[in-house]
Amino acid sequence: MHERSRLSDNGMIALICCVNNQKLEQTRIISRGFTDFTASENLKKNIIRIAEEQYSQHGQNRGIFIQSTIKKLKRYFLKELYKMPIIDIEVINYSGKE
């Protein structure tokens, strides 16, 4: 079962990276040329796995953790998702509860 997420006009996909059941950062991935995006459970699991791996290596240093996670996510999207053209990944501080 897929959860469908419509992109806004500027082509943003909003993803939340969860590490140790805490929402640390809300990550926006900006993509060109897509009208919609299907986020499968497998995709979500892989994104979370990437964030968890980086957190286990760099969790004590927030700056390095964010930069390395962004780098790995860009590589993952380019390699795994049909060479999806990533323009930028912007990390926004996530505070508060839903």
Give the mean pLDDT per block of 10 residues along the chain (98 residues): 34 39 47 46 71 78 76 73 52 42
Q: Please list, in sequence order, all residues whose beta carbon lies within 8 angstroms of the beta carbon of residue 4, skipping any fewer than 6 positions away.
A: 36, 38, 39
pTM: 0.49
Plot region of 59 (φ>0 → left; ψ -120 to 50 → alpha; else → beta): alpha
In a domain? residue 98: no
d(CA 56, CA 59): 6
Task: Report the pLDDT value the prediction gives residue 74, as an integer from 0 to 100.
Answer: 72
In a domain? residue 15: yes
Q: What is the CA radius of gyration of the chain?
A: 13
Number of domains the chain contains: 1
In a domain? residue 55: yes
Task: Report the pLDDT value the prediction gives residue 43, as an integer from 0 to 100.
Answer: 67
- Domain range spanning residue 66? 3-93
Q: Are 16 and 94 in contact (CB under 8 A)?
A: yes
Q: Please list, in sequence order, all residues whose beta carbon lies within 8 angstroms of the beta carbon of residue 75, skipping any fewer than 6 positions away.
A: none
Task: Report the pLDDT value the prediction gives residue 82, as an integer from 0 to 100.
Answer: 54
